[in-house]
Amino acid sequence: MNNQVYPDDAWARAGRVRLLILDVDGVLTDGRLYFGPKEELCKVFHVRDGHGVKMLQQAGIEVAFVSGRRSDAAFRRAKELGVHRYHEGVRDKAAVLEELCRALSLTPDQVGAVGDELVDLPLFHRVGLAVAVADAPPEVQAAAHWVTTLPGGRGAVREVTDLILKAAGRWEELVRPWSEI
């Protein structure tokens, strides 16, 4: 039952998601680039987003990180979260969608994608659930089925994972262990 303030269309689409594709810069991070004293690129990830990813995995929903940039920090975050489907330096995200659908025997309508930039639009037009983060440009938000209330890197991914789990009817069983403490 849709007991939140989600559009009915987004709720229905979220309930069918079996794979969530996440952009990295601007979605899992706030999009800013930090360079350390030795010129290394540093990124900040939100712990709540990571917990949401783990909850999806617990529910049997696959997660993939797909980024246009190459980043040791993003690779380390994927490894830490047990995200085995990590694609970096990607120019054509729609091609990665096709590859993932083949590998997982899914159709694009069973895939959700979270993005923040114009480069994500080809993916948005192909997936079952397209979500823009709150600070995405207007063109990206307009192409989305739903827009988060939080910006990228600040819990937006957690909003999406919660929507998917609730729409799929998996939320209660996953939060029960904490509510019984």
Helices 47-58 and 72-81: crossing angle in degrees, nearest 10, is: 40
Q: What is the CA radius of gyration of the chain?
A: 15
Q: Are 152 and 31 in contact (CB under 8 A)?
A: yes
pLDDT tens for 5-61 read 788 899 999 999 999 999 999 999 998 888 888 878 888 899 999 999 999 999 999
Distance CA 3, CA 102 (A): 34
Tell which residue, 168, 146, 173, has the closest CA to residue 157.
Answer: 146
Structural domain includes residue 166: yes
CATH number at residue 104: 3.40.50.1000
**Does 138 reside within a domain?**
yes
Domain total in the chain: 1
pLDDT score at 177: 83
Residue 111 lies in a domain: yes
pTM attached to this predicted model = 0.94
What pLDDT is recorded for position 118? 96
Residue 47, domain member (yes or no): yes
- Backbone phi, psi, residue 41, to 5°: -85, 125
Residue 2 lies in a domain: no
Give residue 4's pLDDT band: very low, low, confident or very high (50, 70, 90). low
Q: Is the pLDDT of residue 3 over 70?
A: no
In this predicted structure, the answer to whether residue 1 has a pLDDT above a threshold of 60 is: no
**Residue 44 or 155, more confident:** 155
Show the domain range for 109.
Answer: 13-179
The alpha-helical segments, DSSP class H, found in the chain are 8-14, 47-58, 72-81, 93-104, 121-124, 138-143, 156-167, 171-179
Residue 3 lies in a domain: no
- What span, in angstroms and rounded, lies between the C-alpha atoms of 166 and 50? 17
**52-103 pLDDT, tens digit each:** 999 999 999 999 999 999 989 999 999 999 999 999 999 999 999 999 999 9
Query: Would residue 169 count as lying in a domain?
Result: yes
- In this structure, is residue 100 part of a structural domain? yes
Question: Residue 95 carries which side chain, given as an amino acid letter?
Answer: A
- The residues near 125 (Cβ < 8 Å, ≥ 6 apart) are 143
Would you place residue 2 in the very low, low, confident or very high pLDDT band (cuts 50, 70, 90)?
A: very low
